[in-house]
Structure 1
Amino acid sequence: MQRGIYIVANDRVADNAIALLSSLRRHDPNVPIVLIPFDQRYQGVAERLQRYQVSLFPDLAFLEAFTQKIGEIFPKDFLALPNKMRKLAGWFGPLDDFLYIDTDILFFGPVTETLAYLEQADFICCDYHFKGRGIQDIFSQRVIDDGIFTPEALQDVFNSGLWGSKKGAISLEQMYDLLQDCAQHREYFDFSSGTTDQPIINYLVLKAIPRRLNIAKANPSEPGSWGGSPHFEQRDRRLYDGDRPLRYLHWAGTPMRPGGPYRTLWEYYRYLDDPDARSVETPPIRKSWRQRLSAMLRKAR
């Protein structure tokens, strides 16, 4: 059995990917890590991540066909960034047990310890979305009114930046059927904050995978992980919530720019294996028109 990690990236997020991989390899030098290209602009990041023994998703033809199928299922105005759905390809890739990790994350311990929770369930996550934001950024009130999920199931909602599952826990035919359901019921989802994959993947998991485990529920001492929490303390290149070491930090919409929260820690991991890159100025990234419009709408509220 092969147990490992998937990331989705392109050249635009190469710096974040390097910081994440640097933090992962500090504790787990040998765990398999597979890059799923976000789009066609991935050759640069793939080359730069070779130093971290990252392999490329082996079936790019499947990935392209999968992306095309999703484009056929959903109306063009349904998903803000359709390629974010490529993370779903993890269920059909080379890893038997896998953890998916967004690139705006740093890990502070052996990721194999998190993967080990898959011995208890077919799907895992580790966050407090259910406790803080509830169904916000995932479902609308309509799913409650129509009884689409039980109240107990809705307690299993999760942030889609870090989660794990098993190859084949959802079949490809089953996934396409569930995606068709999603496409026919836009009213079930909360896209108001600009999310794309998070509402859809929650629908898939709650419908198709009954054996679920949230580490934050299973482990009473599990600390938080959100980069917008200001109270974490840095010691020995990791963060602590009081005396509890964080498993990981996820910026999750929190600015990662210079001067932003925990930026110095991100810079440590970004330049740990590449100190000369500090002298290279990174050009600013222009936001897409969808991102600019979303920001304007949020300010107008």
Structure 2
Amino acid sequence: MSRGIYIVANDKVGENAIALLNSIRYYDPEVPVFLIPFNDNYQNVAATLVQKHNVQIFPDLDFLNQFTNKIAEIFDRDFLALPNKMRKLVAWFGPLDEFLYIDTDIIVFEKIANVLDYLSKYGFICCDYHHAGRGLQDIFSPDIREKGIFTEEQLSDVFNSGFWASKKGAISETQMYDLLRECSQHREYFDFSRQVTDQPILNYIVLKAIPQRFNLVKIPGGGAGSWAGSKHFQEKDRALYDGEKRLQYIHWAGIAMKPGAPYQELWEYYRYLNEPKPTQIFADETNNIWQQMSDRIKKLFS
């Protein structure tokens, strides 16, 4: 049985992808990691990750492109903000029998693939407090509850789509397309107010198709948090702690990594692990923003 990790990336998120892989390999040098290209502009980050961390490219790019085209056929053009974010769903049809999906704006603090051990009892694993914090926000509209689409017990299992695990075959290809069509016919079910794309759809699919689910933070006594917007975490030994509980990972969901970002120095530590750290890490990004602003001002007065 094959087990491993999937990520979705392109050159635009290359710095985050490197930081993530540096952290994964720090705790686990051997776990297989596959890169699902977000679009065609992924060669630079792929070359770095393949060379430094033995990352493999998703082996069936033809299927990946077919899946992307199918998404375009199923959903109206203005339905999904970033349709290519749906590419993470091909994890169910890739080479790994048991897999963990991780967004690139995450760094981990343990041998993270160990969460796959829970798949001996469950078909789907997540690890976050979205259900207790934001509730149905960024996932479902009030219609989903008012129309009784899911029970309250099911709705208590909503999750952030940046970190989750499942098994190949837990959802069939036919079932996936049927559920995607179902979603496309009921835009009123979903909360896209903050321009999320995959999270509402993924939650719908999982709640409909996989009855055996487990959120790791629901262990007795509660688990550690994971969102970088939580300011109370304490750093120790290049990891973060929620009180006495060591975080499994930290996720900058909705937070840009730039000067002043929470836990920025910790991210920098993992990004520049085993290589020289530049003196002005965000200089190019900042200069680019100022250049964009300058160009816009020039257009206003031209």
Question: Taking structure 2 as the reference length, what is the TM-score of the superposition?
Answer: 0.92
The correspondence of residues 214-233 of structure 1 with structure 2, limited to 5 A, is: 214-233=215-234
Q: Which residue of 1 aligns with 2:185?
A: 184
Give how far 1:53 is off.
1.0
Give how far 1:218 is off.
2.6
| Inter-partner Cα distance in structure 1 for 2:71 and 2:48 | 29
| Inter-partner Cα distance in structure 2 for 1:15 and 1:277 | 13
Q: Which residue of 2 aligns with 1:173?
A: 174
CA, structure 1 residues 231+279, in 2 after alignment: closer, same or farther (shift >3 Å)?
A: closer
Matched, 1:70 2:76: no
| Inter-partner Cα distance in structure 2 for 1:208 and 1:283 | 44
Which letter does structure 1 place at the counterpart of 2:234? E
Aligned 8 A contact 1:11 1:41 in 2:
yes
Q: Which residue of 2 aligns with 1:2?
A: 2
The correspondence of residues 19-98 of structure 1 with structure 2, limited to 5 A, is: 19-50=19-50, 51-98=52-99
CA, structure 1 residues 131+61, in 2 after alignment: closer, same or farther (shift >3 Å)?
A: same
Aligned 8 A contact 2:86 2:198 in 1:
yes
| Inter-partner Cα distance in structure 2 for 1:115 and 1:70 | 28
Q: How many matched pairs?
A: 287
Secondary structure in 1 matching 2:22: helix
Unaligned runs of 5+ in 2: 290-302
Secondary structure in 2 matching 1:129: coil
CA, structure 1 residues 275+219, in 2 after alignment: closer, same or farther (shift >3 Å)?
A: farther
| Inter-partner Cα distance in structure 2 for 1:118 and 1:278 | 43
Which whole-Å deviations, capped at 9, do the CAs of 1:112-143 have from their partners, x for residues lacking one?
22121112201000001111111110000001
Quick check: which has more Rg, 1 or 2? 2
Q: Which residue of 2 aligns with 1:292?
A: none
Aligned 8 A contact 2:103 2:163 in 1:
yes
Aligned 8 A contact 1:27 1:110 in 2:
yes
Give how far 1:278 is off.
5.5
Which whole-Å deviations, capped at 9, do the CAs of 1:81-122 have from their partners, x for residues lacking one?
000000000000000000000000010011122121112201
Aligned 8 A contact 1:135 1:157 in 2:
yes
Aligned 8 A contact 1:106 1:250 in 2:
yes
Aligned 8 A contact 1:127 1:224 in 2:
yes
Which whole-Å deviations, capped at 9, do the CAs of 1:143-178 have from their partners, x for residues lacking one?
111110011100000000000000011001100000
The correspondence of residues 126-137 of structure 1 with structure 2, limited to 5 A, is: 126-137=127-138
Matched, 1:144 2:145: yes
Give how far 1:277 is off.
5.4
Aligned 8 A contact 1:255 1:261 in 2:
no
| Inter-partner Cα distance in structure 2 for 1:39 and 1:112 | 26
Which whole-Å deviations, capped at 9, do the CAs of 1:162-204 have from their partners, x for residues lacking one?
0000001100110000000000000000000110000000000
| % identical equivalent positions | 61
Q: Which residue of 2 aligns with 1:155?
A: 156
| Inter-partner Cα distance in structure 1 for 2:132 and 2:98 | 27
CA, structure 1 residues 277+206, in 2 after alignment: closer, same or farther (shift >3 Å)?
A: same
The correspondence of residues 260-275 of structure 1 with structure 2, limited to 5 A, is: 260-275=261-276
Q: Which moved more, 1:251-260 or 1:232-241?
A: 251-260
Q: Which moved more, 1:264-273 or 1:213-222?
A: 213-222
| Inter-partner Cα distance in structure 2 for 1:223 and 1:158 | 15
Aligned 8 A contact 1:221 1:244 in 2:
no
Q: Which moved more, 1:112-121 or 1:12-21?
A: 112-121
Root-mean-square deviation over aligned CA pairs: 1.5
Secondary structure in 2 matching 1:130: coil
Secondary structure in 1 matching 2:160: coil
